[in-house]
């Protein structure tokens, strides 16, 4: 009874399990954001809070807009890094990873400074609750994304990943693109509408 090694693995799908897994995980994440959007909708629309934001609070639309551009740019550098390793271009991978990480870090630090100077606190009405809720939840995702990017960057400098063996980059990249797209939705909802 019992063999020393498992039988050769058989895959019933053409997509690799890690890729299926990260997409399902993102589905779950979208629902988590969904619950935060739901409570935002309740507090703003169902409760007829008008005007929004309730005076005297104001939202820093311009600074956050510039920050949005920074995060969108990081998605392009991430894509560049992924394409580079697929073509075997290690310098491109390393440069792309470093740029993406720095842009993400800039975004997060800008958001911290924005929180500091915004003029209201978490306890100021449900407007502040939903504002900090949605942007804070997204900020946590940026933090997690940065942690993943850091690990990918370190490994890319240690000579890991190759044109045939780059799921680590691909999965992290998909997550980072998700964080980016989700920010566009959060920015539109929380700052612009």
Segment interacting with other proteins (CB under 8 A) among 22-30, 86-94, 98-106, 182-190? 22-30
Cα-based distances in Å from 176 to 68, 132, 137, 170: 14, 21, 15, 10
Containing H/E element for 14? Answer: none
Does 21 contact other proteins by CB under 8 A? yes
Shortest Cβ 52–other proteins spacing (Å): 10
Report the alpha-carbon distance of residue 34 to residue 13 in Å, rounded: 29
Instruction: Find out whether 148 and 99 touch, Cβ atoms under 8 Å.
Output: no
Residue by residue, DSSP assigns 130-156 as: HHHHHHHHHHHHHHHHHHHHHHHHHHH
Q: In the range 128-147, which residues lie near other proteins by CB under 8 A?
A: 128-130, 132-133, 137, 147
Minimum Å gap between C-beta 91 and other proteins is 18
- φ and ψ of 190, to 5 deg: -85, -35
Q: Residues 58, 69, 113, 165: which binds other proteins (CB under 8 A)?
A: 165
Is 116 a binding residue for other proteins by CB under 8 A? The answer is no
Binding residues with other proteins: total (CB under 8 A): 63
Q: Does 28 bind other proteins (CB under 8 A)?
A: yes
Identify which of 152, 33, 55, 51 has the alpha carbon closest to the alpha carbon of residue 99.
152
3-state class (DSSP) for residue 190: helix
Interface with other proteins (CB under 8 A): 1-18, 20-21, 24-25, 27-29, 31-32, 34-36, 38-39, 42-43, 46-47, 49, 54, 122-123, 125-130, 132-133, 137, 147-148, 150-151, 154-155, 157-160, 164-165, 167-168
């Amino acid at each position: 009874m019992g063999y020393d090694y498992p039988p050769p693995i058989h895959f019933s799908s053409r997509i690799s399990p890690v890729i299926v897994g990260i997409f399902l995980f993102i589905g779950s994440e979208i629902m988590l954001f969904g619950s935060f959007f739901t409570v935002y909708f309740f507090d703003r629309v169902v409760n007829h809070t008008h005007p929004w934001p309730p005076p005297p609070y104001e939202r820093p639309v311009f600074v956050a807009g510039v920050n949005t551009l920074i995060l969108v740019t990081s998605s392009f550098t991430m894509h560049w890094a992924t394409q580079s390793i697929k073509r075997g271009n290690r310098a491109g991978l390393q440069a792309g990873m470093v740029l993406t990480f720095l842009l993400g870090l800039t975004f997060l630090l800008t958001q911290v400074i924005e929180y500091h100077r915004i003029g209201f606190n978490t306890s100021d009405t449900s407007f502040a609750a939903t504002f900090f809720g949605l942007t804070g939840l997204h900020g946590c995702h940026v933090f997690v994304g940065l942690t993943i990017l850091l690990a990918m960057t370190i490994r890319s400098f240690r000579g890991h990943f190759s044109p045939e063996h780059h799921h680590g980059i691909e999965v992290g990249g998909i997550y980072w693109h998700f964080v980016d797209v989700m920010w566009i939705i959060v920015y539109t909802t929380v700052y612009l509408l």
